[in-house]
Structure 1
Amino acid sequence: MTTRTIRSASPADAEAVCAIYNHYVDNTTISFEEAPVAPGEMAERIADVASLNLPWLVMCEDDKLIGYAYATKWRARAAYRFAVESSVYIDCDYAGKGAGTALYEALLMELRRRELHLVIGGIAQPNEASVRLHERLGFIKVAHFSEVGLKFGRWIDVGYWQLKLAPRENP
Protein backbone atom coordinates (compact mmCIF):
# COMPACT_ATOMS: atom_id res chain seq x y z
CA MET A 1 0.00 0.00 0.00
CA THR A 2 1.30 3.43 -0.90
CA THR A 3 1.39 6.32 1.54
CA ARG A 4 1.12 9.97 0.56
CA THR A 5 2.57 12.61 2.84
CA ILE A 6 2.77 16.38 2.62
CA ARG A 7 5.63 18.26 4.24
CA SER A 8 7.54 21.51 3.97
CA ALA A 9 10.03 21.62 1.12
CA SER A 10 13.73 22.12 1.62
CA PRO A 11 16.47 23.07 -0.85
CA ALA A 12 17.37 19.35 -0.89
CA ASP A 13 14.10 18.78 -2.80
CA ALA A 14 15.22 21.01 -5.67
CA GLU A 15 16.26 18.25 -8.07
CA ALA A 16 12.95 16.39 -7.71
CA VAL A 17 11.00 19.65 -8.01
CA CYS A 18 12.92 20.47 -11.21
CA ALA A 19 12.07 17.05 -12.65
CA ILE A 20 8.38 17.91 -12.30
CA TYR A 21 8.54 21.58 -13.24
CA ASN A 22 10.84 21.32 -16.23
CA HIS A 23 8.39 18.97 -17.96
CA TYR A 24 5.88 21.85 -17.92
CA VAL A 25 8.54 24.37 -18.99
CA ASP A 26 9.64 22.25 -21.96
CA ASN A 27 6.27 20.92 -23.11
CA THR A 28 3.44 23.26 -22.12
CA THR A 29 2.35 26.87 -21.84
CA ILE A 30 1.33 26.31 -18.20
CA SER A 31 4.62 27.95 -17.21
CA PHE A 32 5.89 30.98 -19.08
CA GLU A 33 9.50 30.08 -18.39
CA GLU A 34 11.21 29.14 -21.62
CA ALA A 35 14.34 27.37 -20.35
CA PRO A 36 14.62 24.53 -17.85
CA VAL A 37 15.45 25.52 -14.28
CA ALA A 38 18.63 24.09 -12.74
CA PRO A 39 18.47 22.48 -9.28
CA GLY A 40 20.69 25.20 -7.78
CA GLU A 41 18.32 27.93 -8.94
CA MET A 42 15.31 25.96 -7.70
CA ALA A 43 16.97 25.50 -4.29
CA GLU A 44 17.33 29.29 -4.11
CA ARG A 45 13.65 29.75 -4.99
CA ILE A 46 12.61 27.33 -2.25
CA ALA A 47 14.84 29.13 0.27
CA ASP A 48 13.52 32.55 -0.85
CA VAL A 49 9.92 31.49 -0.23
CA ALA A 50 10.83 30.14 3.20
CA SER A 51 12.67 33.38 4.06
CA LEU A 52 9.40 35.27 3.54
CA ASN A 53 7.60 32.93 5.97
CA LEU A 54 5.47 31.58 3.15
CA PRO A 55 4.77 27.89 2.57
CA TRP A 56 6.37 25.65 -0.03
CA LEU A 57 4.95 22.16 0.36
CA VAL A 58 5.84 18.89 -1.32
CA MET A 59 3.81 15.71 -1.62
CA CYS A 60 5.57 12.38 -1.55
CA GLU A 61 4.16 8.99 -2.41
CA ASP A 62 6.26 6.65 -0.35
CA ASP A 63 9.74 8.06 -1.07
CA LYS A 64 8.97 9.73 -4.42
CA LEU A 65 8.22 13.45 -4.62
CA ILE A 66 5.13 13.70 -6.87
CA GLY A 67 4.08 17.32 -6.54
CA TYR A 68 4.56 20.65 -4.89
CA ALA A 69 2.66 23.82 -4.05
CA TYR A 70 3.82 27.19 -2.82
CA ALA A 71 2.85 30.82 -2.35
CA THR A 72 4.74 33.98 -3.17
CA LYS A 73 4.06 37.64 -2.50
CA TRP A 74 1.46 39.08 -4.84
CA ARG A 75 3.19 42.47 -5.06
CA ALA A 76 6.08 44.17 -3.27
CA ARG A 77 4.34 47.19 -1.70
CA ALA A 78 3.42 46.87 1.99
CA ALA A 79 -0.32 47.27 1.43
CA TYR A 80 -0.32 43.96 -0.48
CA ARG A 81 1.21 41.99 2.43
CA PHE A 82 -1.96 39.96 3.05
CA ALA A 83 -2.25 38.74 -0.56
CA VAL A 84 -0.25 35.93 -2.16
CA GLU A 85 -0.07 34.13 -5.48
CA SER A 86 -0.21 30.34 -5.50
CA SER A 87 1.35 27.68 -7.72
CA VAL A 88 0.76 23.92 -7.80
CA TYR A 89 2.57 21.41 -9.99
CA ILE A 90 2.01 17.64 -10.10
CA ASP A 91 4.16 14.98 -11.75
CA CYS A 92 2.28 14.30 -14.99
CA ASP A 93 2.07 10.57 -14.11
CA TYR A 94 -0.01 11.50 -11.04
CA ALA A 95 -2.23 14.21 -12.53
CA GLY A 96 -5.97 13.73 -12.11
CA LYS A 97 -5.58 11.38 -9.14
CA GLY A 98 -6.29 13.77 -6.27
CA ALA A 99 -2.75 14.91 -5.55
CA GLY A 100 -3.35 18.47 -6.75
CA THR A 101 -6.47 18.88 -4.64
CA ALA A 102 -4.80 17.50 -1.51
CA LEU A 103 -1.73 19.71 -1.99
CA TYR A 104 -3.78 22.82 -2.66
CA GLU A 105 -5.97 22.19 0.39
CA ALA A 106 -2.83 21.85 2.54
CA LEU A 107 -1.42 25.06 1.05
CA LEU A 108 -4.65 26.95 1.77
CA MET A 109 -4.60 25.68 5.35
CA GLU A 110 -1.04 26.99 5.76
CA LEU A 111 -2.00 30.36 4.29
CA ARG A 112 -4.93 30.64 6.71
CA ARG A 113 -2.65 29.72 9.59
CA ARG A 114 -0.41 32.63 8.60
CA GLU A 115 -3.49 34.90 8.66
CA LEU A 116 -3.26 35.85 5.01
CA HIS A 117 -6.37 37.30 3.45
CA LEU A 118 -6.36 36.54 -0.28
CA VAL A 119 -4.77 33.98 -2.58
CA ILE A 120 -4.56 34.54 -6.33
CA GLY A 121 -4.08 31.85 -8.94
CA GLY A 122 -2.93 32.81 -12.43
CA ILE A 123 -3.82 30.22 -15.06
CA ALA A 124 -2.49 30.23 -18.62
CA GLN A 125 -5.40 29.60 -20.96
CA PRO A 126 -6.68 27.19 -21.95
CA ASN A 127 -6.19 24.89 -18.96
CA GLU A 128 -9.53 23.34 -18.03
CA ALA A 129 -8.05 21.01 -15.40
CA SER A 130 -6.53 23.90 -13.46
CA VAL A 131 -9.68 26.00 -13.79
CA ARG A 132 -11.76 23.10 -12.42
CA LEU A 133 -9.35 22.60 -9.53
CA HIS A 134 -9.42 26.27 -8.54
CA GLU A 135 -13.19 26.58 -8.84
CA ARG A 136 -13.75 23.34 -6.91
CA LEU A 137 -11.74 24.90 -4.07
CA GLY A 138 -13.89 28.05 -4.11
CA PHE A 139 -11.81 30.40 -6.27
CA ILE A 140 -13.70 32.83 -8.51
CA LYS A 141 -12.46 34.26 -11.80
CA VAL A 142 -11.69 37.97 -11.49
CA ALA A 143 -9.60 38.86 -14.56
CA HIS A 144 -8.58 37.75 -18.02
CA PHE A 145 -5.60 39.16 -19.89
CA SER A 146 -5.53 38.52 -23.61
CA GLU A 147 -2.26 37.61 -25.35
CA VAL A 148 -0.12 38.54 -22.33
CA GLY A 149 2.59 35.91 -22.92
CA LEU A 150 4.39 34.55 -25.97
CA LYS A 151 5.62 30.97 -25.88
CA PHE A 152 6.22 28.39 -28.61
CA GLY A 153 5.53 31.12 -31.18
CA ARG A 154 1.98 31.82 -30.07
CA TRP A 155 0.25 34.32 -27.82
CA ILE A 156 -1.15 32.98 -24.57
CA ASP A 157 -3.97 34.42 -22.44
CA VAL A 158 -3.89 34.32 -18.64
CA GLY A 159 -6.91 34.29 -16.34
CA TYR A 160 -6.79 35.13 -12.65
CA TRP A 161 -8.85 33.47 -9.94
CA GLN A 162 -8.97 34.57 -6.31
CA LEU A 163 -10.04 33.09 -3.00
CA LYS A 164 -10.66 35.07 0.17
CA LEU A 165 -9.19 32.91 2.88
CA ALA A 166 -11.28 34.30 5.74
CA PRO A 167 -13.25 37.38 6.56
CA ARG A 168 -10.74 39.88 7.89
CA GLU A 169 -11.31 43.05 9.82
CA ASN A 170 -9.06 45.94 8.97
CA PRO A 171 -5.79 45.13 10.77
Structure 2
Amino acid sequence: MFTIEKAAVRSITDADFDVVAAIFGHYVEHTTATFETVPPSTTHWREKAEELAGRGLPFLVVEVDGAVAGFAYAAPWRTKPAYRHTVENTVYLAPEWTGKGLGRLLLDSLVERCRAAGMRQVIAVIAGDGASVALHRKCGFTEAGVLRNVGFKFERWLDTRLFQREL
Protein backbone atom coordinates (compact mmCIF):
# COMPACT_ATOMS: atom_id res chain seq x y z
CA MET A 1 0.00 0.00 0.00
CA PHE A 2 1.24 3.49 -0.90
CA THR A 3 1.88 6.15 1.70
CA ILE A 4 3.23 9.61 0.92
CA GLU A 5 6.19 8.87 3.18
CA LYS A 6 7.43 6.46 0.48
CA ALA A 7 7.80 9.39 -1.95
CA ALA A 8 10.92 11.51 -2.37
CA VAL A 9 11.43 14.69 -4.38
CA ARG A 10 14.83 15.31 -5.97
CA SER A 11 16.46 17.15 -8.86
CA ILE A 12 16.22 15.53 -12.27
CA THR A 13 19.13 13.40 -13.52
CA ASP A 14 20.08 11.98 -16.92
CA ALA A 15 18.39 8.70 -16.04
CA ASP A 16 14.98 10.43 -15.77
CA PHE A 17 14.46 11.97 -19.20
CA ASP A 18 12.87 8.93 -20.88
CA VAL A 19 10.28 8.64 -18.10
CA VAL A 20 9.59 12.40 -18.15
CA ALA A 21 9.07 12.22 -21.92
CA ALA A 22 6.68 9.27 -21.52
CA ILE A 23 4.65 10.94 -18.76
CA PHE A 24 4.29 14.18 -20.70
CA GLY A 25 3.61 12.28 -23.94
CA HIS A 26 0.53 10.75 -22.37
CA TYR A 27 -0.89 14.21 -21.62
CA VAL A 28 -0.05 15.50 -25.11
CA GLU A 29 -1.78 12.60 -26.83
CA HIS A 30 -4.80 12.11 -24.56
CA THR A 31 -5.67 15.34 -22.73
CA THR A 32 -5.97 19.09 -23.03
CA ALA A 33 -3.79 19.64 -19.95
CA THR A 34 -1.09 20.79 -22.38
CA PHE A 35 -1.56 22.58 -25.67
CA GLU A 36 1.36 20.68 -27.20
CA THR A 37 0.21 18.44 -30.04
CA VAL A 38 3.40 16.44 -30.61
CA PRO A 39 5.17 14.82 -27.65
CA PRO A 40 8.63 16.36 -27.13
CA SER A 41 11.62 14.03 -27.35
CA THR A 42 13.95 12.91 -24.60
CA THR A 43 16.52 15.29 -26.11
CA HIS A 44 14.08 18.19 -25.69
CA TRP A 45 13.73 17.40 -21.98
CA ARG A 46 17.48 17.12 -21.51
CA GLU A 47 17.99 20.51 -23.18
CA LYS A 48 15.18 22.08 -21.10
CA ALA A 49 16.74 20.79 -17.87
CA GLU A 50 20.14 22.17 -18.90
CA GLU A 51 18.64 25.56 -19.78
CA LEU A 52 16.78 25.78 -16.48
CA ALA A 53 19.83 24.71 -14.48
CA GLY A 54 21.80 27.45 -16.25
CA ARG A 55 19.23 29.95 -14.98
CA GLY A 56 19.32 28.54 -11.46
CA LEU A 57 15.74 27.24 -11.75
CA PRO A 58 14.52 23.88 -10.44
CA PHE A 59 13.51 20.80 -12.44
CA LEU A 60 12.35 18.13 -10.01
CA VAL A 61 11.06 14.57 -10.07
CA VAL A 62 9.13 12.63 -7.45
CA GLU A 63 10.08 9.02 -6.89
CA VAL A 64 8.12 6.22 -5.29
CA ASP A 65 10.11 3.09 -4.46
CA GLY A 66 12.89 4.29 -6.75
CA ALA A 67 10.68 4.88 -9.81
CA VAL A 68 9.84 8.34 -11.19
CA ALA A 69 6.13 9.05 -10.74
CA GLY A 70 6.04 12.68 -11.88
CA PHE A 71 7.95 15.88 -12.51
CA ALA A 72 7.78 19.62 -11.99
CA TYR A 73 9.82 22.59 -13.12
CA ALA A 74 9.85 26.38 -13.09
CA ALA A 75 10.66 28.30 -16.26
CA PRO A 76 10.84 32.02 -16.98
CA TRP A 77 7.38 33.58 -17.25
CA ARG A 78 8.47 36.01 -19.97
CA THR A 79 11.79 36.96 -21.56
CA LYS A 80 11.74 40.69 -20.80
CA PRO A 81 14.22 41.59 -18.03
CA ALA A 82 11.59 43.09 -15.73
CA TYR A 83 9.99 39.63 -15.40
CA ARG A 84 13.22 37.99 -14.18
CA HIS A 85 11.78 37.29 -10.71
CA THR A 86 8.62 35.62 -12.04
CA VAL A 87 8.38 32.00 -13.17
CA GLU A 88 5.73 29.69 -14.58
CA ASN A 89 5.36 26.30 -13.00
CA THR A 90 4.65 22.95 -14.64
CA VAL A 91 3.59 19.78 -12.81
CA TYR A 92 2.74 16.39 -14.34
CA LEU A 93 2.21 12.98 -12.75
CA ALA A 94 2.08 9.58 -14.38
CA PRO A 95 -1.66 8.82 -14.69
CA GLU A 96 -1.52 5.95 -12.21
CA TRP A 97 -0.07 8.29 -9.55
CA THR A 98 -2.67 11.07 -9.62
CA GLY A 99 -4.83 11.68 -6.57
CA LYS A 100 -2.31 10.35 -4.05
CA GLY A 101 -0.73 13.60 -2.81
CA LEU A 102 2.33 13.52 -5.07
CA GLY A 103 1.30 16.65 -6.97
CA ARG A 104 1.17 18.63 -3.75
CA LEU A 105 4.52 17.24 -2.62
CA LEU A 106 6.06 18.25 -5.95
CA LEU A 107 4.48 21.69 -6.13
CA ASP A 108 5.31 22.55 -2.52
CA SER A 109 8.93 21.51 -3.15
CA LEU A 110 9.06 23.48 -6.38
CA VAL A 111 7.74 26.63 -4.68
CA GLU A 112 10.37 26.35 -1.96
CA ARG A 113 13.15 25.93 -4.53
CA CYS A 114 11.84 28.94 -6.45
CA ARG A 115 11.90 31.00 -3.26
CA ALA A 116 15.49 29.88 -2.60
CA ALA A 117 16.39 30.88 -6.18
CA GLY A 118 15.20 34.45 -5.50
CA MET A 119 11.90 34.28 -7.37
CA ARG A 120 9.02 36.49 -6.17
CA GLN A 121 6.02 35.24 -8.16
CA VAL A 122 4.96 31.85 -9.52
CA ILE A 123 2.36 31.74 -12.28
CA ALA A 124 0.33 28.70 -13.33
CA VAL A 125 -1.46 28.53 -16.67
CA ILE A 126 -4.12 25.83 -16.37
CA ALA A 127 -6.42 24.45 -19.04
CA GLY A 128 -9.72 23.21 -17.67
CA ASP A 129 -11.18 23.16 -14.20
CA GLY A 130 -10.05 19.87 -12.69
CA ALA A 131 -7.37 18.48 -10.43
CA SER A 132 -4.73 21.05 -11.38
CA VAL A 133 -6.94 23.91 -10.21
CA ALA A 134 -7.58 22.14 -6.90
CA LEU A 135 -3.86 21.40 -6.48
CA HIS A 136 -2.82 24.99 -7.04
CA ARG A 137 -5.47 26.31 -4.66
CA LYS A 138 -4.28 23.86 -1.96
CA CYS A 139 -0.74 25.14 -2.49
CA GLY A 140 -1.68 28.79 -1.92
CA PHE A 141 -2.26 30.00 -5.49
CA THR A 142 -5.11 32.40 -6.24
CA GLU A 143 -6.91 32.85 -9.52
CA ALA A 144 -5.72 35.87 -11.49
CA GLY A 145 -7.87 35.59 -14.62
CA VAL A 146 -9.21 33.61 -17.54
CA LEU A 147 -8.05 33.72 -21.14
CA ARG A 148 -10.95 32.58 -23.30
CA ASN A 149 -10.63 30.40 -26.39
CA VAL A 150 -6.84 30.75 -26.63
CA GLY A 151 -6.07 27.11 -27.47
CA PHE A 152 -7.43 24.77 -30.11
CA LYS A 153 -6.91 21.05 -29.56
CA PHE A 154 -8.97 17.95 -30.33
CA GLU A 155 -11.25 20.06 -32.54
CA ARG A 156 -12.37 22.45 -29.83
CA TRP A 157 -11.49 25.86 -28.41
CA LEU A 158 -10.09 25.90 -24.89
CA ASP A 159 -9.70 28.47 -22.14
CA THR A 160 -6.79 28.80 -19.76
CA ARG A 161 -6.97 30.02 -16.20
CA LEU A 162 -4.13 31.99 -14.67
CA PHE A 163 -3.17 31.38 -11.06
CA GLN A 164 -0.51 33.23 -9.10
CA ARG A 165 1.38 32.77 -5.87
CA GLU A 166 3.53 35.41 -4.24
CA LEU A 167 6.63 34.07 -2.53
TM-score (norm 2): 0.94
**Where in structure 1 are there 5+ consecutive unaligned residues?**
166-171
How many angstroms apart in 2 are the aligned matches of 1:41 and 1:60? 21
Aligned: 1:145 with 2:147: yes
- Report the alpha carbon displacement of residue 155 of structure 1 after superposing the two structures with TM: 0.5
What residue identity is the alignment partner of 1:55? Answer: P
- Report the alpha carbon displacement of residue 4 of structure 1 after superposing the two structures with TM: 1.5
Please list the CA deviations of residues 120-162 of structure 1 after superposition, one character each: whole Å capped at 9, or x if unmatched: 000002x321111111111111110110000011101001000
How many angstroms apart in 1 are the aligned matches of 2:90 and 2:148? 20
What residue identity is the alignment partner of 1:40? Answer: T
How many angstroms apart in 2 are the aligned matches of 1:158 and 1:138? 19
**Where in structure 2 are there 5+ consecutive unaligned residues?**
none
How many angstroms apart in 1 are the aligned matches of 2:90 and 2:140? 16
Aligned residue pair count:
164
Whether contact under 8 Å (1:5, 1:60) holds in the other structure is: yes
Aligned: 1:40 with 2:43: yes
Aligned: 1:81 with 2:89: no
Identity %: 38
Q: Trace 1:105-144 onto structure 2 (pairs within 5 A).
A: 105-125=108-128, 127-144=129-146
Equivalent residue number for residue 13 of structure 1: 16
Equivalent residue number for residue 72 of structure 2: 69
How many angstroms apart in 2 are the aligned matches of 1:82 and 1:37? 27
How many angstroms apart in 2 are the aligned matches of 1:47 and 1:129? 29
Whether contact under 8 Å (1:11, 1:44) holds in the other structure is: no
**Two-structure CA RMSD over aligned residues (Å):** 1.2
- Report the alpha carbon displacement of residue 11 of structure 1 after superposing the two structures with TM: 3.5
